[in-house]
Amino acid sequence: MVVHLGPVTRIRELDALRGFAVGGIMLVNTWQHTEKKPPVPLDWTIEALFQSRFYPIFSMLFGISFLLFLRGHSRWTLLSRLVWLFLIGKLQHLFYAGEVLTDYAFFGALVLLPASFLPGALPVLLLGAVVTAWALLPAVGGGVLLIPGLFLLGMGLWRLRPGRTLLLPGFATAAVASALLSVAWVLTDEWTVYSLAALAGAAAYSLGLLLALGPRLSAVLEPLGKMALTNYVSGTAVIVLAKPLLDADPTRWAVVALAAVTIAAQILFSRWWLGRYRYGPLEWVWRCLTLFRLMPNRLESACDQNRPLPDPGVS
């Protein structure tokens, strides 16, 4: 599904996949910032099936978005975009210490800008694989250090453009690998094994979503993904405000309920907002700051609702 706009396009599968990742991150972040004593079975379920599965998707999409933004802008403009993203992350850090926007901006400037000069897909994919493998070493410790490698893998895959015929075998391979590695993690309790299971799970979720994506599911996820920055920041604010209530629930089902209600509200708000404006609230501010000028945002006619300007968001 691609919306054609003359010389530029908006790739709707990427918006839907980004929306899926935003929703998953909301669930995981809510759980991460909740008191977990005593442990309950729901903790294990979230850790085994969802924890660390969505940030890899978000990170690879950021690498793709980098190339999409370069289609119509200079690298200096892209650097400006990353600087402002860093500053937005610093503001978010005032109320949410777990933000990743500063890490995304830093590694984007450190890794993606130089990598954009590399020719073709294979050098970028090879570099991404090496950096990711390095981050998975027990002595390195992964965490945010997985981000630059995933950025590069996303950039390389977008340049390679593998065919849709690979979706089903890729999904099957990733799903089996994730299941086997998850069993191995249960048996060994090794962090590296868990990280590999999470990366395989992220691949399985991404490919499975692309296989299942139809008009109805896409219509739900796309608005969430088009306003990824707004929804990510607002979701973290909800978590901070609701933390006392979350900690008071020993069953941890309040985590699931809060995440579900927040995601549903964000989907409805995003659909309403994008029926009237080209960009989400924070996306518009970010774009104006990046380009150093006030950008038009309000849609002037019903026809404009189907003509979103290309904006890769935060991922």
pLDDT per residue as tens digits for the range 235-268? 999 999 999 999 999 999 999 999 999 999 999 9
Question: Is 89 domain-assigned?
Answer: no
Question: Percent of the chain, pLDDT > 70?
Answer: 92
Instruction: Tell me how crowded residue 222 is: count the other CB atoms within 10 A of its CB.
Output: 26
Residue 232 lies in a domain: yes
Residue 10: predicted pLDDT: 55
**To which residue do tokens 């964000």 refer?**
266
Question: What's the pLDDT at 142?
Answer: 83
Q: Check whether 18 has a pLDDT greater than 60.
A: yes
Location of structure tokens 């893998």: 153
Whether the pLDDT of residue 306 is over 70: the answer is: no
- Reported as a single tens digit per residue, the pLDDT across 195-227 is 999 999 999 999 999 999 999 999 999 999 999
Domain of residue 227, residue span: 7-35+214-305
Among residues 274, 289, 187, 193, which one has the least CA distance to residue 227? 274
Q: Given this model, what pLDDT does residue 7 score?
A: 34
* Predicted local confidence at residue 301, as pLDDT: 60
Domain count, the chain: 1
In this prediction, residue 5 carries a pLDDT of: 30
pLDDT score at 3 = 35
Residues with Cβ within 8 Å of 50's Cβ and at least 6 positions away in sequence, in order, are: 24, 27, 28, 31
The answer to the question of residue 101 being in a domain is no
Q: Is 41 inside any structural domain?
A: no
| Per-residue confidence (pLDDT) for residue 288, from 0 to 100 | 97
- Binned at pLDDT 50, 70 and 90, residue 9 comes out as very low
pLDDT for the residue numbered 187: 96
- What integer pLDDT is reported at residue 37 of this predicted model? 87
Does residue 312 carry a pLDDT above 80? Answer: no
Which carries the bigger pLDDT value, residue 9 or residue 174? 174
The pLDDT assigned to 308 comes to 46
Structural domain contains residue 281: yes
Domain assignment present for 203? no
Average pLDDT estimate for 106-120: 95
Residue 64 has pLDDT above 60, yes or no: yes
Residue 193: pLDDT above 50? Answer: yes
Predicted local distance difference test score (pLDDT) of residue 1: 40
Instruction: Report pLDDT digits (tens) over 153-167.
Output: 999 999 999 999 999
Q: Is residue 182 part of a domain?
A: no
d(CA 228, CA 235): 10
> 220: which 2 tokens?
């739900």
Q: What is the pLDDT of residue 155?
A: 97
At 303 the pLDDT is 52
Q: Is residue 126's pLDDT more than 90? A: yes
Backbone angles phi, psi at 144, to 5 degrees: -65, -20
pLDDT at 315: 45
Q: Is residue 206 in a domain?
A: no
Which residue has better confidence, 2 or 97? 97
Q: For residue 253, what are the contacts with CB-CB under 8 A and spacing of at least 6?
A: 42
pLDDT at 302: 47
